[in-house]
Each structure stands twice: as C-alpha cells, then as structure tokens.
Structure 1
C-alpha cells in the first residue's frame, strides 16, 4: 500500500512539473521570434551518469569515454544517422584490392585543434600503440583483423610487421588477414582513432587526463571539465567540416540518479534526460519520449562442466520455460524486445539489411515441452531429481529484478527451485572466469556491427565463453565465416551457426535492450548508435527555441 501511494505521488509530481515546463516552452516558442532579441547561441544540455574515466583511445573501454571521444575526435569514417560509415578523416571511400584484403585510404586536408595537420602517420602510430604489448590495451582485439596485429600484440611479431603503413602524409594502407565485410564499421570506433605522437609523449602518463593535455580533430573540443560534476564541449573552429556543425556548445552534467535527471529536464535545465524502467511508465505515452534499441542482448549462460547443465535437454528445458513477452512487458517495461536469437535487430548483415530479418525467431515459450525435456535429461545424466541447490548469479543492481522473474518462471513452469546470488561486478566476473558458477545472467554489447560480434563469443576458444559450451559444427561455421570472401554464403553460415547455439541451448537469450529518453522537441538530428558511442553531436541543431537557461 505504501509503495503504491508513493508511486502515485511520484507520477502526480512529475506530471505537474511537466505541464509547467510545457507552458514555459510554449511561451518561448510563441513569442521568442517577436522579441527582437538576437539569435541565441546553439547550446545543448545533456547528462552523463559518470565522468569519462579514460580518454586515451588506445586503452578506453567504457561507454562514457566512447561518447566523449566520438564527438571530440574523428577516425577514418564516422557513423551517420543510419549507422552507416561515411568518410570522415578519409577523403572518400578507400581503394580496395581485388582480394578485398588491402584498403588504401587518402587522408583529407584536415588539421588538429592546434592547427597541425592530421597525417596518415597519426593513424599508424595510434593503432600500433594499441597493439604494443607494453600498452596492455584490452581493446586490442578490435584490431586483430589487421595482418599480424594479433601476433604483434602477443609478442610473436614486430611492430613493422603489422599491416598498417603510412605510405606518405596523405596515404594510409591497411592489409587485413582475411576479407571482412565490416572493416569500415570498425574504422568508426574509438580504437581506430588517430593520435599525435608528439602530444602523447609530451604529457606521458597525464595524456588525456584533462582537456589541455590532448588535441582534437573532431567537431568539438573538450573544455571546463569539473570532475564528477560536469564537462563542456565547444565547437572546434579548426574542424574540416565545421560549416555543418550547428551547436556552439554542449553542457554535460554528471547526474547519477535518473529521477534527478528527469526533474532537471522538467524544470527546463536539461534538453535530454535518460529514463530507467521504474520511471518509464510515467512517460510511456509522452510525446517527448524517445526509445532506441541498443546493440545489446541479455542472456543466460550455463556451466556445461556441471553434470546437471552438461545435458542439452536440461538446458533446453530452462530455455523453453521463460515467457519473454511477460518479461519485457511486465518486468522491464522500457521498450526492450523479447529475444528471438543471439543477434539483436539493430545489427546488419553484409547487404545492409538487419540480420534478424534474414533469419527467424527460434525462441519459444512451451512449459509442457520444457517439463518433458527436463525429465528426459535427468534420466540421461542418471539423476533422480533436480539438485537441491541451483544458483543463478546476477549483478547486484537492477538486474536482480530479472533474476527474480526467472526464479518464479522456473518454479512455476519447471517445478525447479533456484537461489539468486547477487554479486558485485568484479566478484561475478572472477567467478565466471574461474568456472565457479552453475548458471549466470550476462549482458553483451557488440564490439562492431556484424552478426559475428554476437556469435563468436560462443566459440570453444572464446575468452568469454565462461560456460565452456562446445559444438564442433558451430566452431567450423564461425571459423569459415572469418575468411569467407563470398559474403552471401558467409551470411548463410552465420544463420546456421545461430540456429545451432539456440537449438543446443549453448546460451539462452532473454531480450534485446532498449534505452529511453526524454528529449525536447526543438532538439533535431541527435543521432544515436547501437554500439560503441551512444550518440553523435555533429549534426544536432536547436530549432524553434530562442533562448536557454545557462
């Protein structure tokens, strides 16, 4: 009763704030152009849930840092509003050899924020710095498609053996191990950004620790960084495409609490605010709500070294006992979608079409079949009953709600009792790496826009295949797809590979993750991306609003 009353109070309060905010916006939009005042600066106001911890593109791994780097730096390509890679520092698309292994990029006539030219050597230096074993970069794997990149990173080759060469200041040649259809997508990611050797060496360990200890070649520069409070982007006057950048400034507040962010939004102190599942319901039908699908899947992984979960019929029983529609509509209630396979609908295939549309949804809800498979599986592993202690590991955060839902599903649909084990992230990962779990709940965000990003994690040699699931046919399909130059055939092999992992319940996908926001209607062309950086500010404009609170 108390919880219901508090929810009502929260929704009423939020609604009142929203109506007040709408009235203010309407007055500004109606009379702003009649006041005779000069055009206000183009300023966008956002939030982040934490400081960007690492703006060194050779080592960074977190989303907040990706977001900053995507807007103050620029690689050979940049993702557009349709998430397609467009030439950025590259002057047009590269020349590609007949065997599809050699890419030759021409570097456009662009300069860094300090006026120095951007050179092909800046890319060669940065990429080899990622791969240098001394850097200890955990993102080096993103460069492994390049010839001898993995070998150099693991101490089996020299830097000069790596297939990236600056032929001159304006020409960069990249040689791949095998042809891959998604290489241009990779060049838009943080790991593939350029760096200036003189700047990195000048600041040493302090490189990129503050705005004045790095240089920029993107649409904005970073300024006024007050750690744990806020940071600011300002338009880069030296950016090669500055005429297409409308924003003069972007102010980002560090706001860790969703309710606080929404309050700031409704009082006109923010132009965009994130929503979590608890707040989503209050704004579900609001015209300001924007929901986008991430390139992320939530799934269960079983420890197949465990006698009970070594049986595919038992794993399949758990897979069939979950009502994913109920999970996304009653528990998450934030726009997320029930999973039909491992690959999210935002991921495209070689032909530019969503991979999900070229395959089928394999996951069903069938409690009757689930109980039958459980009985058959128990006989096959010579067990008279389900083990008394079945433990599901989960992060000690909002994902506990998902685990509790699963617990109830297993009890109602399988007659199986499950204990929930909430763990801090570091402890949970440690247990998974050491195989000290029965089954676990995992969230995976793809490293690049290709089905392979979500399927190769289940191969026998994958470092994140914590459950040690193994299927020889699956491994062969993935191995073949990594070097297959016939992309249509490769696509069919990846479809078959996904079918195998679902059929054998090597992993059990639950849902595809959505993220919702409140966004003022005068904010235009704020493009969001499913993987790597969440958004691009280059094309954003403020239209229909004459003034903003500073």
Structure 2
C-alpha cells in the first residue's frame, strides 16, 4: 500500500525560513446539505437531514478536552472544537482557525493570523467571536494546577516559561521533592500572547522541529475565555457548560445514555460538513448488539468481532456490508511490564516486583509472546502485516534524507522478538536467578483487559494459552481479568493494577520524541515522579534493583536525544539508540500497529482528515453519509483513489 511521507526535511524547511501558508474559508451554506442520492451520497435538497447513528460502550470521563488525555474524550473534543491548523484526507497540512502563519528563528516565535470564527452554545446559538485571547486563556487554564490537566506536561519545555509558571503556582517559592526552588512567575512571561483579536503568538522555550504538527493536539485547542473564568473547574462538565466552534456542537451529553452532535451552521467550514447529526447511543453490550442492529437497519456503524466475521462474509445477506477502518500509523500497541504494582495481595505484588526486575524473566516473556498468533485474532488473513518490532510504527516519519525512522541507526537492528528457543533459555536463566532471590513459582501475572474493546478478551486468552504452554505453567500463571469498561485507563493502568498488559500510544506530533512520552521520566535531585508513566520504569532505579542501570541508560539516552534540536539526522539517530535500548532490555514488548477493524459502516473512511498524530483522525468533517453500507470492493476502490 502506498503511503504519503511526512519527512523531517519538510519540517526543517518550516523552521529554517519564515514560512507563510494561507487559505480561504468555505462559503456559507444551508444547514441541510443532504438530499437526492448521487453515487450513494445524500445531496442538497433533501427533506430529511443526514443522521449518522452508532452505539458506543465506553463513556468519556469528561468533556473537558483541556484536561483529559483519554482518547474517548478527545473524540468528542475533536469534533466540536477546531484547531489552528488541520490535515486534509491525504495527510497534507492546511489552514484551520489560522489562515496563515510564520516563524521567526531568532526569537523562536510563531505568529498565527486567525480567521473570523464563532463560538456557539449547545443549541447552536452564537455565543461570541473566536479571538486570539481564547487560545491564551485556554493555556492559562491548563497551566493552573487546580484544574488538574493531564496534558500540561506537553507544554513544558516547549512553550517559554510554561513549566516555570505552573510549578511557581504549585510550590510558591518552595522546593519540590527534588530540591528545585520554584519562584512565582507572572503569566505575562509565558510564551503565548494575543497581539490583537486576530493575531496569536507562541514563543518557544527552545528550537522545536515538530511544533507546527503538535497544534492538532488538544493541548493547543482554544476555549471561550469568559466562560472559562466563570465556570473554572465546572467548565465542560455538561453540554451546556462549554461552547463550540468546530464542525459540530454537542446538543446533548447524557452519560451512559447518549451523545447528540448537531452540525454547526456557523462554522467557517460548514460547506465541508456533510453529516447533519450524529447520534451515539450507549450500550455496554454494543459489541454484540451493534451488528444485529445493522442488519435491522437501526444503526449505521458497528464493529465486527472475529467470532461472527466468517458468518458475515459467507452470508449473501451480509457479505457486502463489510468494510474496514482506514489503516493508520498514528497508534502503536505494545506490552508493558509494571515495575510499581498496586494490585491486590492475592496476585502477589511483591513476588511480581522481584520477578519483573530480573531482565532474563522479562526476556523470557518477551520472547515467548507469539505476536502473529495474537494479531490473528483480529486479522486472520495477513496478521504479519500488522506486527512490528519497535514502539514507533513504520512510515510514521522520515529523516532528512527520506529514510524511514524505524530503519535509522540502532532501530534497524530490532527484529522479531518471538523466539521459542531463546524464550526457554531465558526462562531457565531467570528461574535460577529468581529462586536465589526468594521468588516463588509460578509467578502470578495479572493481565487485565477492557471488556468494551472488541476481541481483547479473546486476545488475552490466546496469549495465556500460548505463553503458558511454551514457558510452562509451573513458571508463570497468567491471570486474565476483565477491568471496568468505563475509566479503564484511570482505574487500571494509571493505578498500577496490572503486571503485564497490552497498552497503546498515539502520536501527538511528527517527531520520534512523541514515542518516548509513555516511558520517559525526568529525574530530579530526589528521584523520579511516579504514577503516570506506563509501567513506571523509574521505580527500578529508585529501588536500586538489578534493572536500574538499564533503566537509567534509557532515560540518559532520551535526555541526550532531546538536546539535539537542529540536526534532524543526528536527532533521529539518538532517539533510535534510546528506543533500541528500551526494547533490547525488554522493558516493553513491541506488538503491532492498529489492526484495521472490520466494520459495517455507511461512511467512506478515506474522506476524513488524516495525520499520524493529534486528533485529525477522530473527526467526521469531510465525510458523506452514504445510503448504503460500504462493501469491501468499494473500500478498496476508495483506498486506491485516496493514494493517487
């Protein structure tokens, strides 16, 4: 499959000169741009609006896109709040709320000129104009500790004085646990300014090669300033407690009941919004109920699990209802080992802690994981197409010479981790070492899953059977356990209630540094901040375990790579060395890119916005509601057309 390359050299050109891009907004159109079918699309003049209906099974923890880091919350924010720039359906950057922009290398300052745009309430009524101050106020809100933004660290070291301002509020002249003194800083010193109503500037802390691409992430979204000031922490706690400037406004948000999105006719790009209403209906059993509702014509979208796919493909009634997700390199899946277990005593957390800090034990599990067999649960025809050997997916980004980052430096040496012979060798070495340290066998390996994710339970069963069979159930006892469907991220991963679990990460910007964010922990004078990062690798250093040197090696290599700002090839080489160290020491096990789910869907997924980072892929803007479900032949034709 052909894919468009976003090369680092292109991003460097943006930084090397004062780049200016411009564009014009769409013309104003009627609310209902649907109607008579043309190529299966409802077109203008219809008496009925285009209404897209689907079920969902995991509820957003909050509507507050400024504070949430959860994908399920970002899906809402992405459709109701616009960003400064956007990406089209071919992955090319285009104007969004900004019509043009420029960069001054000497002052490290980006300048954006905003178009005329409007905020609306949850009835679609105009609430105010979008101004540069809305971006300033949104960032100040994020940098206010009492608002507890999970995204705030994305601003540290990027926006001038963002970290100083935040920590100045936290410590108010006092010292943090590392002994660093943080004096109060006035917000006027933070590198975000409203020059006038339509001119916004960001001044950077340092040279940031990927800054422009990061603007499609939630941390740089605006919010209506007067409303933020009025509501404070109550902002975005309900549909009527936030304003909207995106393609849609959220008319109704009834948790674990329904979400109703309505087309925002006051959006500057309303002519490119072809679906008038989106109805998302909650059902905890949506995985099983959705396909049946498709057959009854009650919904326009459903994910098809592996246990029904063969029947659907062989049935004349359903075989032409099947298509797939758009392939994407924006997400990577990998297995994490947890170095700071907080699960119940019945799963023997202290025993696990000793075992996981033994590198041969981790390598035994890493080498025993047959990735192809597990991916086959989701994709039986060609599972190896989705298996990866690194955390960063192939074709995510390219260095200045156009070389795929996964082929740069030490990354090129990462190969398939599954090896039955090595797995047994590592097991035998680990068992000898761990017995000497007092570990009891079998080691209990708690492996939870989110029941709202199609087929994850089946994947876990395959992993349990395959790994226990290879390593022996006298060595490990993998315990598969369903976690909560709602707030799984918070309740399970962030609270450390797992031993070994499949995790994922979505890129926030077009640079290898984004793939260090789940694991890298900054060291202070008194240790590392624990609790939020995947697996809490730094716990090995704090506890002085046998894995402390390897963990320190990774963090040091990341620090060194981050310091390389201008020489992109050297920067990529350095990050490649760090990622290879992370994988070689088996702190994580690379697994797969996103396997394109099989769907029944009335949307052409290749019409939507696309970028391997940020929230672009979550938007409905640009997609037409068809009067039929997309078949696999139509899906392939649409894919081929999108690559031309």
TM-score bracket for this pair, using the shorter chain length:
0.7 to 0.9
1: CA distance between counterparts of 2:306 and 2:516? 28
Shift of 1:502: 1.6
1:338 aligned to 2:387? yes
1:44 aligned to 2:73? no
1: CA distance between counterparts of 2:444 and 2:219? 37
Whether the 8 Å contact between 1:295 and 1:346 is mirrored in structure 2 is: no
Sort the Cα spacing of 1:129 and 1:261 in 2 relative to 1 into closer, same or farther, 3 A: same
Whether the 8 Å contact between 1:178 and 1:482 is mirrored in structure 2 is: no
Q: Give 1:118's aligned residue.
A: 130
Shift of 1:355: 3.7
Q: Give 2:602's aligned residue.
A: 520
1: CA distance between counterparts of 2:280 and 2:432? 58
Whether the 8 Å contact between 2:332 and 2:391 is mirrored in structure 1 is: no
SS at structure 2 position matched to 1:154: helix
Sort the Cα spacing of 1:32 and 1:64 in 2 relative to 1 into closer, same or farther, 3 A: closer
Q: Give 2:590's aligned residue.
A: 509
For residues 141-195 of structure 1, the C-alpha deviation after alignment (integer angstroms, 9 at most, x for no partner) is 2222212222222233422222111122222111222223332232112222111
SS at structure 1 position matched to 2:595: strand
Sort the Cα spacing of 1:544 and 1:136 in 2 relative to 1 into closer, same or farther, 3 A: closer
Q: TM-score, normalised by structure 1?
A: 0.81
Sort the Cα spacing of 1:428 and 1:476 in 2 relative to 1 into closer, same or farther, 3 A: same
Shift of 1:107: 1.6
Sort the Cα spacing of 1:50 and 1:143 in 2 relative to 1 into closer, same or farther, 3 A: same
1: CA distance between counterparts of 2:356 and 2:254? 50
* More off after superposition, 426-435 vs 83-92: 426-435
Shift of 1:127: 0.8
5+ residue gaps, structure 2? 1-35, 121-125, 169-181, 341-351, 523-528, 541-546, 630-644
Shift of 1:307: 4.2
1: CA distance between counterparts of 2:390 and 2:39? 52
For residues 59-78 of structure 1, the C-alpha deviation after alignment (integer angstroms, 9 at most, x for no partner) is 22333321121111112122
Shift of 1:528: 6.2
2: CA distance between counterparts of 1:330 and 1:51? 25
Aligned residue-pair number: 514
| Structural RMSD (CA) | 3.7
SS at structure 2 position matched to 1:325: helix
5+ residue gaps, structure 1? 1-27
Q: Give 1:234's aligned residue.
A: 262
Equivalent residue in structure 1 for 2:149, among 126, 137, 140: 137
Q: Give 1:269's aligned residue.
A: 298
Whether the 8 Å contact between 2:82 and 2:246 is mirrored in structure 1 is: yes
2: CA distance between counterparts of 1:46 and 1:268? 11
Equivalent residue in structure 1 for 2:104, among 97, 105, 115: 97
Equivalent residue in structure 1 for 2:139, among 127, 132, 146: 127
Q: TM-score, normalised by structure 2?
A: 0.70
1: CA distance between counterparts of 2:263 and 2:381? 34
Sort the Cα spacing of 1:284 and 1:494 in 2 relative to 1 into closer, same or farther, 3 A: farther
Equivalent runs, 1:340-355 vs 2, <5 Å:
340-345=389-394, 347-349=396-398, 355=405
2: CA distance between counterparts of 1:408 and 1:82? 41
Q: Give 1:5's aligned residue.
A: none
Equivalent runs, 1:116-195 vs 2, <5 Å:
116-144=128-156, 145-155=158-168, 156=182, 157-158=184-185, 159-195=187-223
Sort the Cα spacing of 1:106 and 1:289 in 2 relative to 1 into closer, same or farther, 3 A: same
2: CA distance between counterparts of 1:181 and 1:312? 35
Q: Give 2:288's aligned residue.
A: 259
Shift of 1:290: 1.0
Q: Give 2:71's aligned residue.
A: 63
